[in-house]
Amino acid sequence: MNIRRLSYDHPDALKLNDQVQLEYIERYGDGGDATFLEPTMFLPPRGLYLIAYDAEDRPVATGGWRGQEANEENYRDGDAELKRMYVIPEARGQGLARRILATLEADARAAGRTRMVLETGDKQPEAIALYMSTGYEPCEKFGHYRTYESSRCFAKPLRNP
pLDDT score of 161: 64
Q: Lowest mean pLDDT: which of 17-21, 27-31, 45-49?
A: 27-31
- List, in sequence order, the alpha helices (H) in 39-122: 96-110
Provide mean pLDDT across the span 119-144.
Answer: 97
- Interatomic CA distance for residues 125 and 112, integer angstroms: 30
Provide mean pLDDT across the span 21-27.
Answer: 95
Strands (E) across 24-132 are located at 47-53, 59-68, 79-87, 115-121
Strands (E) across the chain are located at 2-5, 47-53, 59-68, 79-87, 115-121, 137-138, 151-157
Q: Topology of 2-157 in CATH?
A: Aminopeptidase (3.40.630)
Q: Is the pLDDT of residue 32 over 90?
A: no
Average pLDDT for the chain: 96
Q: Is the pLDDT of residue 30 over 90?
A: no
The reported pTM is: 0.95
pLDDT score of 102: 98
Q: Is the pLDDT of residue 31 over 90?
A: no
